Amino acid sequence: MTLSRKAVSTAIALSLMSSCAFAEGDLGSLDLFSSNNPDSPVPKGLILGGATITGQGRYKGQDTQTWAVPGGLYFGDNFMYLGDRARYYFHMDSDYAIFGYGRYRFGNLDPGDSDALHGMNKRKGELEAGIGGTLITPYALLTARFASDVTGRSNGQELLLWADFPIVRKDLLIMPGMGMMIRSHNMANYYFGGVSASEATPERKQYDTGTTFSPMAAVVTSYRISQHWVGSVSTSYELYDNDIQNSPIVQHQGEWYVIAGVGYTW
């Protein structure tokens, strides 16, 4: 398999088009491959579309849920906007890219969700900023990205190490990817299962996750329907670090998402 720009751009475009605010993994380096060519699988400018997302509830009492999410993406020469996150490229060429990264992380715990969470503090959203780089090889995209809370909500950080391996058969793409998410103790405690002293009860002990290391994997399939339409079905899974799994408020060993999306471009 040889990794072409068209193959990579098709793969990443569809995974991004179906992204949602709860996705934890890397969503690609799409602007590296966008073009004004009317036949390009990744056009410059605005793309409008929508997706349905089915995801597993992280905390006890939270059920598996499905959302319908409309939205738009923008791909400029150096700027890429993806709904809840964005990149600005300081440098890009055929071998590597360096980018600034920003994301608004939505809150994910409401004590009103279930009796098991009664007495917990609501986990609110935060703005995160960071930097990353992508190495472009003949067979894979290798990405490292660091981000930190800049709003003082969790005061946490995360480091993502990720590799994508696109396979293209005419208009069909199947792209497996895998990586590791490393979260600081502040980030993990706030969004992934920490229980503070004020939140502890006789049935729910105080709990500190510490710094966590969670392997992740994803498979993205995409299909270019026509010049103006493109569709995608993808799935992702994160296997929680043992210190997340053992939290008294976390109900699973990991979490999965299945995402189906379609988008229109002019």
Give residue-wise pLDDT tens across range 86-145: 999 999 888 998 999 999 999 999 998 888 899 999 999 999 999 999 998 888 889 999
Of 62, 7, 47, 26, residue with least CA distance to 249: 62
- Confidence band of 20 (pLDDT split at 50, 70, 90): very low
**29 vs 223, more confident:** 223
pLDDT band per the 50, 70, 90 thresholds, residue 238:
very high
Helical residues (DSSP H) of the chain, grouped into ranges: 5-17, 185-191, 242-245
The domain defined by 5-265 carries CATH number 2.40.160.40? yes
Write out the two tokens for 138: 């003949």
Nearest residue to 246 via CA among 185, 194, 202, 190: 194
pLDDT of 208 over the 80 cut: yes
123/115 Cα distance (integer angstroms): 16
CA 266 and chain centroid, separation: 26
Q: Which long-range contacts (CB under 8 A, 24 or more apart) does 76-83 make?
A: 76/31, 76/44, 76/45, 77/31, 77/44, 78/31, 79/31, 80/30, 80/31, 82/16, 82/19, 82/27, 83/19, 83/20, 83/21
- Residues 7, 160: Cα–Cα separation, whole Å: 23
Task: Give the model's confidence band at 193: pLDDT under 50 very low, under 70 low, under 90 confident, else very high.
Answer: very high
Q: What length does the chain have?
A: 266
With b for 16 or more beta-carbon neighbours within 10 A and e for fewer, the 167-204 pattern comes to ebeeeebebebbbebbbbbbbbbbbbbbbeeebeeeeb
Give the domain ranges of the chain.
5-265
pLDDT at 6 over 60: no
Band of the pLDDT at 43, cuts 50, 70, 90?
Answer: low
Helix, strand counts (H, E) of the chain: 3, 13
What pLDDT, on a 0 to 100 scale, did the predictor assign at position 67? 83
Relative to beta strand 85-92, strand 96-105 is antiparallel
Q: Is the pLDDT of residue 15 over 80?
A: no
Distance of alpha carbon 128 from alpha carbon 236, whole angstroms: 22
Residue whose entry in the numeric block shows the structure tokens 């036949």: 39
Residue 194 confidence class, pLDDT cut points 50, 70, 90: very high
**Overall average pLDDT of the 233-258 stretch:** 94
Summarize pLDDT for 153-179 with one digit per residue, the tens: 999 999 999 998 877 777 777 788 899
Q: Tokens 């598996």 label which residue?
A: 64
Mean pLDDT score of the chain: 83
Lowest mean pLDDT of 38-42, 223-227, 237-241, name the range: 38-42
